[in-house]
A and B are shown apart, each in its own frame.
Chain A
Amino acid sequence: MEKASHLSVIVDLSPTQWHLSAQADNQYPLSIQTFLSQLLAFLNAHIASQHENTLAVFGALPGKSVMLYSSTEVLADDAAAPDANSYPPFKAVDSTVVQRMMYEFDAFKDVEEEAPCALVGALAKALCYINRITHPSTSPGGAAEDPSILPDPRILILSVSPDLSSSYIPIMNSIFSAQKLKVTIDVCKIYGPDTVFLQQAAHLTNGSYIYLERRDALLQYLIMSFLSPPAIRKVLAVPKQDKIDFRAACFCHKNIVDVGFVCSVCLSIFCQPVPVCSTCRTKFPIKTLQRLNASRPSLAPTSSRNTLPLANLNNATPRPTPPRNVNGGTPGLR
């Protein structure tokens, strides 16, 4: 391993979800304190693997996203007292991350309804940061990087919240830009239902998506699946999700469709031919509607299609599928 590796961690810090996760009536409750201690151990492990490894930590809070730590910046309020009992780089990471998190938590206002978690903003920031360190422009004060040791960047998303339908388009755009920058996106789903958007993100960027069965063994999952850089993954295989649902949901009823009717102007998907597109209000010619109604395949009862058509060949025990209507209206895909 000569090449350095860069890791950007995005931590989902939605208060309601963490509160629910820590409830004792869960099968394996995980409170945010336990989670943080295991996360810091993982971050230290990444820094310890190689001296040139770089790290950045972003927090996704309701309504905004912040950068909690970055190995290239020296944050002003970093004055950690030198402690003889701890290794200084580890202490720097630990104290900075915890201090910034405490600061953000204290800044919470008491609002009626919690704003949705800004995961997509944090993802965009992580991509901008990776773009900055992998393509350094001639900026004043920027150190010239040796182009032969460019870091192999990856992003790890630790998510507890369900899918947000309004973030479908920004997440897809971020996935395509990650493909262009050759960034691998890994997802660890700690609590909450399966997020299909993040499954797609992991699949399209050759990352791994893990849904935690045993939440108390979080550190073991992190080190086994997410510590190895992409170059090593050819040798040390990480568990991946093979069965990705690429089918789309229709805009009108939010059903999953196999064969849909797509408006050519705005690309909205319908489960049956409609005379007027509901999104862009374009009228469609009558001849097309007649032709499509005649040629529409008589589908088998759709209930049989909604269950998983292929056995999940990787996992031995099938995971209980969460109720499918938890997610709100999602344009294009659940």
Chain B
Amino acid sequence: MPPRQQDSIFMDVDSDSDVSILGDGDGDYSRTKGKGKGKATDKRKKDKGKAKAKDQAYTWEASYTRSWDTVQEDEAGSLQGAVEDWMARGRRRRLLAPAAAIRRTIIRHLILLLDLSASMMDRDMRPTRFDLSLQYAREFITEWFDQNPLGQIGVVGMRAGIGERIGEMSGNPQDVLKSIADRHKLEPTGEPSLQNAIEMARSSMSHLPTHSSREILVIFGSLTTCDPGNIHDTLDACVKNKIRISVVALAAEMKICRELCDKTGGQFGVAMNEGHFKDILFESVPPPAQRAVSRAAGPGTANPAADLMMMGFPTRLPDTSPPSLCVCHSEMKSEGFLCPRCMAKVCDVPTDCDICGLMIVSSPHLARSYHHLFPVKPYQAVSSLEDMPDPATGCHACARIFPTTPSTAAATEGMSPLGRYRCTDCHNDFCTDCDVFVHDVIHCCPGCGK
């Protein structure tokens, strides 16, 4: 067979890698160091061929990557340099993200498509791909509802050539977690069928309003798919329904998976190891950016994705109120929330009232999504103290003392050798830990208070 130029496509798979693919060993080492996070060894037998594509035609002709060399200890025997380098990569990834607020769809509906075929019992990820996928799916669901309280998740499985509905679309994380809790009901067998599963997901989302985003996230572990018809018809139907498909592949890249993602605007990733698998999976947690609406209909037309929704704000009943039946479980309880329209008692918010159908949310749930709309500006790395008359000795937020001498570690892009990062608005310096904490958790600068 003629040598295929597949390597260049193959290397674009790792979408979160920022290092340019150089043909030398350094780029290779630093890349796997960024991905490893503890599990640095590559369990795959075939080499992914990251660095050597330009020299050799076939990937197996390249020498294997010695990933244990990537983690370097300094002379004191500590791994601090490796940890800081990993954090620098995280910072750089964030710097590439847009600093201005972009329009995102906050109301989301996601269908999680789990591959339950025989290839998931492969043991290349400990203990099996299936167990690891279930565990990560649970963590993903918890984190997703934490970041998107107004969203809903449904679960569909691909098993024995058909699509199975494992969990109905629900806004309650406990319900979703309960549907995938029973491991024996989900025992993998048979062949996967992408088309059947995607058709099932698509039809269950067809009735949803246009202002919410419809997404499908596929965890795919096999290299084949048995479809009854032409999967490209399904793909066209998904594009017409504005469904975004993202795929996390555990085995290798398949052209049809790549096409599903590209045509619908989703993300495609192949997991190299357990840590990388979790990273790609969690990339779908933040709300997606809204696609640009074509202005063909002329100015003044309404944005089809924007809509006005009626929501109710409940009153909370304390524990001391007299017990009564709730409408969701018919259990006798004291505490609960009262629907403002029909005064029915529901157990937990956010939910849709079972009696009158009104969406009930409390204002903290709406506030949880505000940080996507008003993000914090990234901090600038301070490279030298020359143009500063009176530098602060400690971090403005946690009062950790800055090192006075620049660190001798190689100054990669985005990292400050002095460990200082400055806010562009209030001009205060912060340490590395606070920089990561402010941008990932608090979303509010301690200096400016915005």
Contacts and interface: CB of A to CB of B under 8 A. Distances in A.
Given A246-B316, A258-B312, A264-B211, 10 more contacts: A128-B395, A128-B433, A128-B442, A138-B80, A169-B367, A175-B364, A259-B358, A262-B309, A273-B308, A284-B306
B369 to A, nearest CB: 6
Contacts of B317: 310
Contact of B308 (A177, A200, A288): A288
Contacts of B316: 243-244, 246
B280 interface: no
A283 B211 CA distance: 12
A168 B450 CA distance: 10
A283 B308 contact: no
A113 B403 CA distance: 39
Contacts of A221: none
Query: Max chain B CB contacts within 10 Å: which of A248, A266, A267, A295?
Result: A267
A90 interface: no
Chain A contact residues, majority secondary structure? mixed
B216 interface: no
A257 interface: yes
Interface residues of B, number: 70
Interface in B409-450: 433-434, 437-438, 441-450
A204 interface: yes
Q: Classify chain A's interface size.
A: 35 or more
A283 B366 contact: no
Interface in A123-181: 124-125, 127-129, 131-132, 135, 137-141, 167-170, 172-177, 180-181
A292 interface: yes
A121 interface: yes
A188 interface: no
Contacts of B450: 170
Most chain A CB within a 10 A radius of its CB, from B309, B314, B395, B438? B309
Contact of A247 (B83, B313, B318): B313
Nearest to B309: A262
A264 B212 contact: yes
Interface in A53-107: 65, 67, 70, 73
Nearest to B374: A169
B398 interface: yes
Contact of A174 (B83, B305, B320, B442): B442
A242 interface: yes
Given A73-B399, A124-B438, A172-B364, A261 B308 contact: yes
B366 A120 contact: no
A297 interface: yes
Contacts of A174: 442, 444
Listed from nearest, the 5 A-B pairs whose CB atoms lie closest are A258-B340, A128-B397, A242-B318, A124-B446, A172-B367
